[in-house]
């Protein structure tokens, strides 16, 4: 079982590298020109082309590409002049922080909403929750972000503006994890924590609402299926408490598919919520990837794509582990 799992992961990762490699070869962008500029002499152009191995057959180029990626070498970003992996290490904690807070909000609120909607199917609370979920899943995230900034920041002033911190709090705490909320707590700088929280709460709430909508809808669907099963009817006939029937039996049986939903939601947010990060000037992976695409910086684009794909693979593996913990039958 373990061997098959390892082989599956390796094949998936190899497929990811194969796709990104050929994307880098078919896009109408010359990596040599991106490195030397369009005014470089022909001799310099040819020398760099040889150094990049672009004169070799494709299979050799791919093998070199795999070796570099395994070593963490994604090349140098044209935008920053720094190694792509170094750039990603710098921006990813911001996305991790935002995605984690948003997913927690979606999980804590969305799961109970979905359960209550299923238990009170076709009643007023069910209709209200379904409308809220539909609205959250349909309205553009960037529009909600702009409206939120206009009302809560510009008009009411109850939250901080774009960015992760006010300028006065830059470099106040040492970077340990890169996650400002965690680093400020570790340093005991509660004022910095409050400022960081004031900045993150609005974009996290926007993304959390989007996550909440999806999680609530899926939870409702899973619960409705379980509540129609005969074992639920039997438990009720035996006089078992309704709360135990709902949360112990019905909810217990939806945990495996629900874990998949939550994991995919989290992975999608870790991918970099491009629109939200752009609206809130959040210096995360989504903003980095957007800037790289606009600048045709293929090293940065492909490096970020590989990181995103690896995140999906890793979260899928974590989901498999959680399946076995919550439901021994999954073994």
Report pLDDT for 329. 62
Q: Which class for 236: exposed (0-12), middle (13-18), buried (19 or more C-beta within 10 A)?
A: middle
Q: Report the C-alpha gap between 77 and 299 in whole angstroms.
A: 6
Look at residues 73, 254, 17 and name the one whose alpha carbon lies nearest to residue 246. 254
* pLDDT exceeds 90 at position 10: no
- Domains and their CATH numbers in the chain: 2-70 (no CATH), 84-330 (1.10.3720.10)
* pLDDT exceeds 60 at position 330: no
Give pLDDT tens digits for 151-164: 999 999 899 989 99
Give pLDDT tens digits for 210-268: 899 999 999 999 999 999 999 998 888 888 888 899 998 899 899 988 998 999 889 88
Percent of the chain with pLDDT over 90: 43
**Mean pLDDT confidence for 80-87:** 90
**Are 129 and 118 spatial neighbours (Cβ–Cβ below 8 Å)?**
no
**Mean pLDDT of the residues in the chain:** 87
Sorted by sequence, the CB contacts under 8 Å of residue 133 that are 6+ apart come out as 113, 212, 213, 214, 216, 217, 220
Q: Which class for 167: exposed (0-12), middle (13-18), buried (19 or more C-beta within 10 A)?
A: exposed
Report pLDDT for 195. 95
| Cα Rg of the chain, angstroms | 24
């Amino acid at each position: 079982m373990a061997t098959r799992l390892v082989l599956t992961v390796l094949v998936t990762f190899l497929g990811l590298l194969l796709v990104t490699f050929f994307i880098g070869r078919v896009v109408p962008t010359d990596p040599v020109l991106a490195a030397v500029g369009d005014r470089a002499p022909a001799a310099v152009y040819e020398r760099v082309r040889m150094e990049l191995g672009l004169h070799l057959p494709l299979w050799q180029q791919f093998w070199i590409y795999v070796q570099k990626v395994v070593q963490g070498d994604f090349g140098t970003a044209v935008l920053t002049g720094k190694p792509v992996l170094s750039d990603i290490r710098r921006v990813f904690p911001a996305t991790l922080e935002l995605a984690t807070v948003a997913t927690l909000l979606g999980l804590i609120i969305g799961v109970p909403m979905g359960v209550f909607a299923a238990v009170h199917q076709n009643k007023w609370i069910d209709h209200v929750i379904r409308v809220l979920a539909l609205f959250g899943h349909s309205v553009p995230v960037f529009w909600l972000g702009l409206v939120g900034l206009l009302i809560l920041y510009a008009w009411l002033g109850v939250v901080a503006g774009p960015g992760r911190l006010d300028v006065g709090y830059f470099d106040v705490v040492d970077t340990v994890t890169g996650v400002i909320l965690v680093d400020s707590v570790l340093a005991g700088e509660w004022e910095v924590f409050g400022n960081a929280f004031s900045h993150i709460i609005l974009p996290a709430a926007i993304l959390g609402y989007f996550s909440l909508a999806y999680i609530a809808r899926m939870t409702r669907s899973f619960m409705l299926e379980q509540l129609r099963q005969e074992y639920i009817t039997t438990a009720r006939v035996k006089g078992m408490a309704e709360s135990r029937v709902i949360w112990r039996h019905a909810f217990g049986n939806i945990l495996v598919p629900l874990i998949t939903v939550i994991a995919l939601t989290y992975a999608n947010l870790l991918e970099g919520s491009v629109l939200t990060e752009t609206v809130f000037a959040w210096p995360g992976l989504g903003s980095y990837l957007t800037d790289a695409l606009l600048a045709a910086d293929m090293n940065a684009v492909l490096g970020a794509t590989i990181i995103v794909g690896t995140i999906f693979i890793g979260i899928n593996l974590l989901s498999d582990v959680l399946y076995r913990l919550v439901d021994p039958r999954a073994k």
